[in-house]
Structure 1
């Protein structure tokens, strides 16, 4: 006579509900809040993707200068990812018949209107990526973010021809640290983010914004992280993002700036 199966024996472990991924990205800035941000990320075991340009800083010789190199090296050891934000934080302004109208907001040509070819833009992207690898020992992702998110189809095609896919951000992922604090106070920005962010969103903030009087990161970043985690969200880098994972894998070990196939 067969014995009835004991319902408490040999049962498969209960499946833990998968987390809802979001992708926090941080662009460079004046870097004054960079140590605070690093402490918060480390405390909550959050991994992010940094988009880096060599911007003017409150202390030190530029966000990718030698003074900040040790900071970046520690971030690499912690498992964060890096990608290009151009070298001199160069804004696209317009397409031209044989290139682009560009305007750096840092470096020796700060504020000037420049005419660049596609090859010059590729060199600008590659300069940041190569420098990141040199100071961290970690290869940058074959991704970039145009300053201000400003692009054109022609600019995106030029970047892709030399191996870079563009990453913007989700509507709810614009965390508002660039906005004037008198009209967009930190508490309002936090409430909006916690209300609107959904799984799969790419979030964007900065390592310091010159124009904002009431800094965003000291007030918002930690409660945003803990608030999202309490709602079942988890933080992943863009290496794991479904829209970019295949592109990153397809680039493999090709040198930075090598043409995509």
Structure 2
């Protein structure tokens, strides 16, 4: 007949099991998959690499502008690429920004807010799409996704997905979590909605200043190959800084691309966090 376990030992084992369960639960919530653009390209499926090579993307830095948002006209395995992204629009500043990008024959990724932006400026959303830029999701109302219930976080993303699709016929495949805050639950929601998550390596902190010269300096000081630049087309000082930023980046040999072009021949993987 087995010996009866002592109360002290039973209590100790119960405590250990509880602690183990808590660690597993916390790690499950906290973990998510992260990869850098260069690693994503290196790990691209062989079929996608073969297709990319067959199309013969451009590869000579700033002298080979990226002409479309599908990744066909530039090869960031060869070119010195940097992705240009804008958050929180569209706004009254966006048409001027689009004029600048059109003149320079460059494309960007626009992480758009649904409420007060996408739904109120559908003509700008249509133009962003029509001119070859990349449509992306920055939630409905800029709620911090890690601080709200999963159902609400999902709604923050799905409402903007639906709004963009209603205007353009397309659903974004990229999203940027407000303040860059994500976790395992947000990654699961993103995966379910077909959204890859995109963070950044360059920020001008243009929400702190309208000084266009300072914004330009901050961007140029931080930009390196395979970087992702974060700007906002809702602030007064940002759009006036863009021509100078583009000019100097080209001078330094950068090819300015969308996020999907930066990752190509890999395709954005839903749920994955892309961070330089």
Aligned length: 197
Which of 1 and 2 has higher RCO (CA within 8 Å, sep 6+)?
2
What aligned pairs does 1:97-176 form with structure 2 within 5 A after superposition? 101=148, 116=149, 118-137=150-169, 139-170=170-201, 173-176=202-205
Could you tell me whether the CA contact under 8 Å between 2:93 and 2:234 is conserved in 1?
A: yes
> Within the alignment, does 1:19 sit opposite 2:73 as a pair?
no
What residue number does 1:64 align with? 118
> Within the alignment, does 1:246 sit opposite 2:272 as a pair?
no
The structure with the largest alpha-carbon Rg is: 2
What residue number does 2:250 align with? 229
* Structure-2 separation of matches of 1:30 and 1:159: 22
What residue number does 1:28 align with? 88
Alpha-carbon distance, 1:64 to partner: 1.3
Structure 1 pair 119/201, CA: closer, same or farther in 2 (3 Å)?
Answer: same
Alpha-carbon distance, 1:166 to partner: 1.2
> Within the alignment, does 1:51 sit opposite 2:111 as a pair?
yes
* Structure-2 separation of matches of 1:229 and 1:157: 38
Structure 1 unaligned blocks of 5 or more: 1-14, 56-61, 95-100, 102-115, 210-214, 252-261
TM-score, with structure 1 as normaliser: 0.67
Could you tell me whether the CA contact under 8 Å between 1:121 and 1:159 is conserved in 2?
A: no
Alpha-carbon distance, 1:134 to partner: 1.6
* Structure-2 separation of matches of 1:128 and 1:89: 11
Structure 1 pair 88/196, CA: closer, same or farther in 2 (3 Å)?
Answer: closer
What residue number does 1:208 align with? 234
Structure 1 pair 93/178, CA: closer, same or farther in 2 (3 Å)?
Answer: same
Which has the larger strand fraction? 1
Alpha-carbon distance, 1:243 to partner: 8.0
Alpha-carbon distance, 1:222 to partner: 0.8
Structure 1 pair 52/72, CA: closer, same or farther in 2 (3 Å)?
Answer: same
Q: Is the deviation greater in 195-204 or in 122-131?
A: 122-131
Alpha-carbon distance, 1:218 to partner: 4.0
* Structure-1 separation of matches of 2:159 and 2:266: 23
**Deviation sequence 1:186-243 (CA, Å, 0-9, x none):** 323312322330111111111213xxxxx22243111001110111111111222328
Please, what is the CA RMSD of the aligned residues? 2.6
**Deviation sequence 1:97-133 (CA, Å, 0-9, x none):** xxxx3xxxxxxxxxxxxxx2x2442232122122112
What residue number does 2:222 align with? 196
TM-score, with structure 2 as normaliser: 0.64
Alpha-carbon distance, 1:24 to partner: 0.7
What residue number does 2:141 align with? 88
Q: Is the deviation greater in 20-29 or in 220-229?
A: 20-29
Structure 2 unaligned blocks of 5 or more: 1-58, 62-77, 272-276
For the residue of structure 2 that corresponds to 1:39, the secondary structure is: helix
